[in-house]
Amino acid sequence: MRKPWLYDERLKNPNMGRIVYQVILDRFVPSQKLKEKEALYAYPRKLKSWTETPKGGVFLEDVKYWSHELDFYGGDLESLMTKLDYLKELDIDMLYLNPIFESLSNHKYDATEYLKISEEYGTQEDLKRLAQSLHESNMRLILDGVFNHMGVGSTYFQNALDPNSPYRNWFDFNEAYPEGVRLWADAKSLPELNLENEAVKDYIYQKDTSVIKSYLKAGVDGFRLDVAFDIGYDILKELTTHAHQEKSTALIVGETWNYPKRWLNSMDGVMNFTLREITFGMVEGTFEPKTVNTLLEKMVTDCGIDGLLRSWNILDNHDTVRLNHRLNKENQALAEVLQFTFPGSPNLYYGSELGMTGGNDPENRAPMRWDLNTVENERLQWVKKLIQIHKQETALMVGDYLPISATKLVAFERYTDNVSDTVLVILNPTEASVTERMMVQDSSLMNYSKFDTLLGEAKQVSLIAGLLEVTLPKKGFVILKPRTQIEKSYTPYKRV
């Protein structure tokens, strides 16, 4: 039984089906105050030219970092705020910032103190102003929470090196470990926190003065949790519960390179890397269309629509090669159509909408190419069109998912209680034109129904007795919407 109120409730939920935009603060907008901040980039740091491409470096034994981790370009919170109009024009809903907490590196996954903003990025007041400005434009602010490990320079860790320190149990010291302490991914600069310790829990999320609750009080709207798979189901559940106690609309999304199902019991959503792998398998030909349909349906059935709607549909980010680097134009379009139509929140990585390229870290973390932001940029116009369609169609934002019985094409329906919201998504990832007649198991779609094309192109579309026939060119796609309005005096949709 369909529930009319359900879709209204989902639409009111600020975390469902929204557009997410990811930014590395140092690389987004150059500061106008670099002369004043010059001392903040002293050795072992280095300030680079905005037009210089990031390159791999050498390991610096004295500080236990790779040199490219300490290359900076000078962006900060204040400079970011000069480009909020760009984010408004894109029509994003959430701004997600890579870590901004105090640390030595440019990536900030090595926090020395979570309750401080890294000085070269600004201050707590700058962060509050950013949150307020975003809220005034109906956008929300998500921070990167790196709570599995800290930086080797943390005062907590340096204090814990004393066996008699009260912070000793904040970390896992063990002579059996190569460095005498448990490290994340064996990186010498990243000692892991002992998250089972109640004092650590108090510091991160339990107390009113904890890191998570303090930032939520300051106007932040949620956290993307780094390496959430390392934090574990139970602690993630506790953390999420405490975040919701502070702010009921807070969003906790985890980086889990795992199947989403069980993680969605512990957090609001995940970064859906399973969908990413299925997408690349589809466009690169390692999965046949029939297999893609099976995998997508299985994921929705297993994980539930609500958890997926709060999850982020991701194709590239700071840990992967850029989308424009990996896929050609045809495959990129197919991948993004799926990204913007499958249940979830499409996640954009800064600059990819402009056509920025880049291989593995650090090339994929280059400074923003503002010179590409022009009305002639076809790539930008394409992404804006995808955002527009996603946000104007209720079914794509918050609708349910219905598989279509296709074997040669990838096909599914998104729907609500209102048949006029229905959207059909059909993709042909193969190298040949395909005609397929497939069953659409939606009794409200009428015989001989006409369809409007929201995006893409189909050579023929016909619906007879629940059987939809479509012809798509190679690497083609189409997003269809049934025409339910009265054309003259009659419509078969009048009572469904």
Q: Is 238 in contact with 232 (CB distance < 8 Å)? A: no
Long-range contacts of 256-264 (CB under 8 A, 24+ apart): 256/228, 256/229, 257/229, 258/229, 259/299, 259/302, 260/299, 260/303, 260/307, 260/308, 260/311, 261/302, 261/303, 262/233, 263/228, 263/229, 263/233, 263/236, 264/303, 264/304, 264/307, 264/308, 264/311
Q: Is 336 exposed, middle or buried (0-12, 13-18, 19+ CB in 10 A)?
A: buried
Query: Do residues 368 and 234 both lie within one domain?
Result: yes
Set 226, 268, 316, 413: catalytic member:
226
Query: Do residues 305 and 425 both lie within one domain?
Result: no
Strands (E), 62-209: 65-66, 71-72, 94-97, 101-102, 113-117, 140-145
Three-state SS letters, 150-190? CCCCCHHHHHHCCCCCCCHHHECECCCCCCCECEHHHCCCC
3-state helix, strand, coil in the chain (%, to 5): 35, 20, 45
Query: Do residues 270 and 411 both lie within one domain?
Result: no
Query: Do residues 314 and 434 both lie within one domain?
Result: no
Tokens of 234: 């139970």
CA distance 28 to 12: 30
Inside any domain, residue 490:
no
Domain at 67, CATH number: 3.20.20.80
- Model pLDDT for residues 251-278, shown as the tens digit of each residue: 999 999 999 999 999 999 999 999 999 9
Query: Do residues 453 and 308 both lie within one domain?
Result: no
Inside any domain, residue 410:
yes
Q: Is 56 in contact with 104 (CB distance < 8 Å)? A: no
- Model pLDDT for residues 287-339, shown as the tens digit of each residue: 999 999 999 999 999 999 999 999 999 999 999 999 999 999 999 999 999 99
Q: How confident is the model at residue 16 (pLDDT cuts 50, 70, 90)?
A: very high
CA distance 225 to 149: 12
**Interior angle at CA 304, CA 300 and CA 305, nearest 5:** 80
Inside any domain, residue 65:
yes
255 given a catalytic annotation: yes
CA distance 456 to 187: 46
What region does 419 belong to: left with phi over 0, alpha with psi -120 to 50, or beta? alpha
Tokens of 257: 């390179």
Among 340, 371, 397, the domain boundary falls at: 397
Domain at 438, CATH number: 2.60.40.1180
Among 347, 378, 397, the domain boundary falls at: 397
What is the DSSP code string of 290-343?
HHHHHHHHHHHHHH-HHHHHTSEEES--TTS--HHHHS-HHHHHHHHHHHHHSS
Inside any domain, residue 272:
yes
Q: Which pLDDT does position 28 carry in this prediction? A: 98
Query: Do residues 407 and 380 both lie within one domain?
Result: no
Inside any domain, residue 240:
yes
Q: Is 470 exposed, middle or buried (0-12, 13-18, 19+ CB in 10 A)?
A: buried
Q: Closest Cα to residue 226, out of 141, 139, 162, 317?
A: 317
Set 69, 102, 255, 268: catalytic member:
255
Place of tokens 């970064």: 271
Inside any domain, residue 205:
yes
Inside any domain, residue 488:
no
- Model pLDDT for residues 132-141, shown as the tens digit of each residue: 999 999 999 9
Q: How confident is the model at residue 1 (pLDDT cuts 50, 70, 90)?
A: very low
Q: Which pLDDT does position 415 carry in this prediction? A: 97
Tokens of 220: 């932040």
Counting every residue written for the chain, the total comes to 496
| Domain count across the chain | 2
Among 397, 427, 456, the domain boundary falls at: 397
- Model pLDDT for residues 438-479, shown as the tens digit of each residue: 999 999 999 999 999 999 999 889 999 999 999 999 999 999
Query: Do residues 436 and 318 both lie within one domain?
Result: no
Q: Which pLDDT does position 2 carry in this prediction? A: 53
Average pLDDT, the chain: 96
Task: Give the residue numbers spanning the domain of 430.
Answer: 400-482
226 given a catalytic annotation: yes
Inside any domain, residue 492:
no
CA distance 281 to 406: 17
Query: Do residues 289 and 421 both lie within one domain?
Result: no
Q: Closest Cα to residue 84, out of 392, 92, 209?
A: 92
**Interior angle at CA 181, CA 176 and CA 186, nearest 5:** 95
- Model pLDDT for residues 145-195, shown as the tens digit of each residue: 999 999 999 999 999 999 999 999 999 999 999 999 999 999 988 999 999
